[in-house]
Amino acid sequence: MGSAPKHRFESGERLVGSGGKQKTIGSNDSIPMAIQNRQKKPSSRRKRITTNGKPLQRPATPGSKSREENSDSPARGGGNDSDGEAKKRRKVNAAVRINDEVMSPNNRYFVKKKLGEGGFGAVYQVQARKRPPGMKTRIFALKTEARGPNCPDRLKLEATVLATINNCDDKVREHFAIMVDHCTTPVMNFIVMQLVGPSIQTIRDNVLHKEFSPSTALRISIESLEAIRCLHVDVGYLHRDLKPSNLTIGVGKNFTRIILIDFGISRKLFNKNNVIRLPRKEVKFMGTVRYACRRCHRHEEQGRQGDLESWFYVACDIYNQHVLPWRKVKERDLTYALKNDLRENDGNNKCLNELLPHEFRDLMLYIDKLEYEDVPDYDYLNGVVQGCATRTGVDLKQHFDWECFGPPPVGESEEDKTDNTPGAS
């Protein structure tokens, strides 16, 4: 193929991790982790990290926002809460710093750098002391969540979802990152998982600085739909927070793969008898206002239809980021009204007839007919997107728009060769 153009996936690009296995974080038999500073003497600027049973917190920062009502920020999401409740919450972070060593019963992880941060935790790039079984690298993502009375305790659920994913076959697992370890401590919960590349939103905004090509946009829609199908059918969970910042690319040779991340507000679909769970009468608003389904706005239980409605909004946004009429609206009620307006006259409007291929209207009309308990026809939806490509002359075998830049510069097996972790094996 010749030499690749100069790399535009800079090392400062947001890299995150996602992916799942065995014991649930926070179970009674979990072994507390020790966090040790690798330097012999603690820094004069900070206290030594301990696990004495008292959660250590960084200074609280006002203005952090709840992810239950988060915004469209590609980092972690902020608040679209018209009541301002999210803005009153205080920021609480797990006590992990660069050069710390995080220990689990299975391994030790040297913290190399911070990749991202949210209201109750952060994601770090770490290097494992020993290579986990079946892994080709010792470079991973460490996702943390502070423990405490005001903390959401969502990493337990995420670990459970990822554990189920780990037990699926390779065809399913390729749509997600793999969890390699997890643990709980008096200070925090944490998950160690495969690194993934920047999100679709980050690539469009910070790498390409332009709209995706029709081929890339439709391919992302197809790949993300398949990830949702696997999550529903094979894993048995709803995502409930579909958005471009929760769709990432892989790293290394997998940088042409679309990966679905962040299962902190997922919900199990079936009960122990493998029957769909009964819907609750009233449910909190969960997700991101711009992409949330209308059931979510009405405080109704979301089913598979809810994830697909969110996927439809994401597909529209990826094809043309200016097309959603509520894209700049922060108020939840007004956003809901505009989502209903989109459906007036069976969707015969400028948005769906002029700014998007008409197949997008077909997607919306089909998804809107689904009830809570209905099993969607994912093949039909896939066929509509494929048909859109055929009718408009789009070649779905074209390279993704980001392929010319090469894979993101993160730790693959080659990076392990320049290891500077003491005691590595």
Q: Are residue 189 and residue 207 in the same domain, yes or no?
A: no
* Residue 364 reports pLDDT greater than 90: yes
206/225 same-domain check: yes
Average pLDDT over the chain reads 81
245 and 170 in a single domain? The answer is: no
CATH number at residue 23: 3.30.200.20
Structural domains of the chain, count = 2
114 and 96 in a single domain? The answer is: yes
Is residue 69 in a domain?
no
At 369-396, the pLDDT tens digits run: 999 999 999 999 999 999 999 999 999 9
pLDDT score, position 64: 35
Whether the predicted pLDDT of 340 surpasses 90: yes
pLDDT average, residue stretch 358-372: 98
Q: Which of 75-79, 130-134, 301-305 has the lowest mean pLDDT?
A: 75-79
Domain of 320 in residue numbering reads as 200-391
123 or 25, greater pLDDT: 123
In a domain, 357, yes or no: yes
Binding residues for ATP: 143
What's the CA gap between 137 and 255, in Å, rounded?
A: 16
Binding-site sequence positions:
143
Q: Which of 151, 167, 193 is the last residue of a domain?
A: 193
List, for residues 311-329, the tens digit of each pLDDT value: 999 999 999 999 999 999 9
For residues 304 and 367, membership in a common domain is answered with yes
Residues in the chain, total: 425
Task: Please give the average per-residue pLDDT across 293-312, as a whole number.
Answer: 98
**Together in a domain, 209 and 289:** yes
The pLDDT, as a whole number, for residue 148 is 81
Q: Does some domain include residue 9?
A: no
pLDDT value, residue 178: 95
- Asked if 151 and 218 sit in the same domain, the reply is no
- 284 & 218 share domain: yes
Q: 230 in a domain, yes or no?
A: yes
| Stretch among 31-45, 121-135, 150-164, 393-407 having the lowest mean pLDDT | 31-45
Q: Are residues 277 and 376 in the same domain?
A: yes
Same structural domain for residues 229 and 178?
no
* 76 domain residue, yes or no: no
- Contact of 159 with 179, CB cutoff 8 Å: yes
Rounded Cα–Cα distance for residues 361 and 350 (Å): 11
Q: How far apart are the first and last CA of the chain?
A: 36
State residue 117's pLDDT score: 85
201 Cβ contact list (under 8 Å, min separation 6): 72, 74, 243, 244, 245
Looking at per-residue pLDDT, the higher value among 227 and 422 belongs to 227
Same domain, 116 and 147: yes
